[in-house]
Structure 1
């Protein structure tokens, strides 16, 4: 008799970089699931034994090692491409420092099948200890960003339907195959931070939604944020904001028009002897020229077409 062929199940992708402190909890939460799940680890150059531990302890996990650090988006794209090729109906992106509670993956998949208008679903995010909501997640689900969820939590109401949300980070995204076939993968113009914001902009352009499933939970053990130039350096923050604004297919911002407007504004300030204001506008214009390269605009136009863009 030939080997039994199993229907493709959900693929879980974990991008690792020195992830030893969380490896067992992260992978264990997936291996303990009651449903079929194919696990793929994409390692971005770990030096703490993560690769060796995956090989030795988890032979059932597929491991891909990159030649150098590709960043979050590009590394996940490797896994997303493999998941599509395997026929996976859903893909779970799970941070290396995150782990699902029992039954959460099953609930996410079941909810996705019942609500096809949602391209991405996320569980509720707890901190590592599980004694409170993740701080950033609390911000994502404020009433003006995620209507109804806070009220239902306070009043003890249970709702099986997903709560539409403006944004939730990619620490635990369940992505449908339809979404991947329509929106594609992560934009390589965003190497470090901003990838998830850009992806959700593109998702909305194609008429899909992102939602929170209140009965599913993930621990995200990121602790207190340390100093990070990607968040603390005003120039890097502004560059990322500009890239996101001009990459957004919902807005169609014109780079040439924006540069002309800033140049006119500079001359206006100079003629009125407002030199400080003129310098600020000149700096903004230079930042725009540096951040928004022609390839970004070209990729924005590519993203308007349904397809496996960037994969």
Structure 2
């Protein structure tokens, strides 16, 4: 019997309990065929004892050290690069706050095999996650909203069969060797956001396809919830400072990505009118800042 070798790639920072729960679910997968899983975990400067706790509970996990500056894209890229040296059959991106259902990995592997049988050996397969309380869709495959909004993406509801999509959220993604041989690693120009979207879009340009697996593979809460205090008002100086940081600035239903990283993404994937699509999201910052200033002016009168 053939044995599939999978490298699971995770990155973490000060989320010890979540990371342990994620690993427990990963190692408790119910698999229908022979599979080995090697885990590459980047501990990006955690101070809560995450690395020590993982080593104690799961000594087989390969832990790589970061200095706190890697974030999701940088950390996953480091783990990915190390795993690529060993030429696995599959690579699994997995957020450390994602709790997989026992059948999740079987679902992804079977979807990949079905697509291979249909003539799609270079198929990226994303797994959809839902909120653990509301059961609302949180991450998975995404579609471009329209040809006139090429950088605006909407989540694609999973169905009973695999669905073609434009690109992916990186929370739970299965990449076969054939994709990685063509596309390689994540783009180093991105720190936290956009690297997963960029990877899926680059993969399609290089002859790969992108899919979302049937059903849900697990739970993962949305990192940003609309209605936070960042939605109300922000000074222009504070806003500019935040969008220069890796996690950007949450505004309404979206996050304003770091200015120059978003420029790279827009130029690469926005087509002829990329400068317009690059700057459109930041109009919110100006509008909210002006609104906040007017409110403050009225209060001071």
Cα pair distance change 1:128/1:227, threshold 3 Å: farther
Is the Cα contact below 8 Å between 1:127 and 1:219 reproduced in 2?
yes
Q: Residue 249 of structure 2 aligns with which residue?
A: 231
Aligned residue in 2 for 1:54: 54
Counting only pairs closer than 5 Å after superposition, residues 206-245 of structure 1 correspond to structure 2 as 206-222=206-222, 224-225=224-225, 229=242, 230-232=248-250, 236=257, 239-245=260-266
What CA RMSD, in Å, does the superposition of the two structures yield over aligned residues? 3.5
- The structure richer in helix per residue is 1
Contact 1:90 1:109 (C-alpha < 8 Å) held by counterparts:
no
3-state SS, counterpart of residue 79 of structure 1: helix
**SS of the counterpart of 1:122?**
strand
TM-score w.r.t. structure 2 length? 0.69
Q: CA deviation at 1:69?
A: 2.3
Deviation at 1:83, TM superposition (A): 2.2
Matched, 1:247 2:250: no
User: Equivalent residues in 2 for 1:242-281 (5 A)?
Assistant: 242-248=263-269, 251=271
State which of 4, 9, 16 in structure 1 corresponds to 2:5: 9
Which one has a larger percent strand, Structure 1 or Structure 2?
Answer: 2
Tell me the residue number matched to 1:301. Answer: none
Aligned to 2:135: 132
Distance 2:103 2:257 in 1: 40
- The equivalent position to 2:26 in structure 1, one of 10, 30, 34, is 30
> In the TM superposition, what is the alpha-carbon distance from 1:44 to its structure 2 partner?
0.8
TM-score by length of 1: 0.67
Say if 1:197 and 1:69 are closer, same or farther in 2 by CA, change over 3 A: same
Q: How does 1:98-109 map to 2 (within 5 A)?
A: 98-109=98-109
The runs of at least 4 aligned residues of structure 1 exceeding 6 Å deviation read 141-147
Look up the SS of the partner of 1:115 in the other structure: helix
What displacement does 1:37 show? 1.1
Structure 2 stretches lacking a partner, 5+ long: 147-152, 231-241, 243-247, 277-282, 287-301
Contact kept? 1:97, 1:222, Cα under 8 Å: no
Change in Cα spacing, 1:236 to 1:114, as seen in structure 2 (3 Å) is closer
Q: Which has the larger radius of gyration?
A: 1
Instruction: Structure 1 unaligned segments of length 5 or more: list them.
Output: 1-5, 260-279, 284-311
Aligned residues: 243
**Deviations 1:138-188 (CA, angstroms, capped at 9, x unpaired):** x947998899x75x85xxxx33xx201123310111111111110111111
1:76 aligns with 2:76: yes
Secondary structure (helix, strand or coil) at the match of 2:207 reads coil
After TM superposition, list the pairs within 5 Å mapping 1:164-203 onto structure 2. Answer: 164-203=164-203
Q: Which residue of 2 aligns with 1:86?
A: 86
* C-alpha spacing 1:134/1:54, structure 2 compared with 1 (3 Å): same
**Deviation of 1:109 (Å):** 1.4
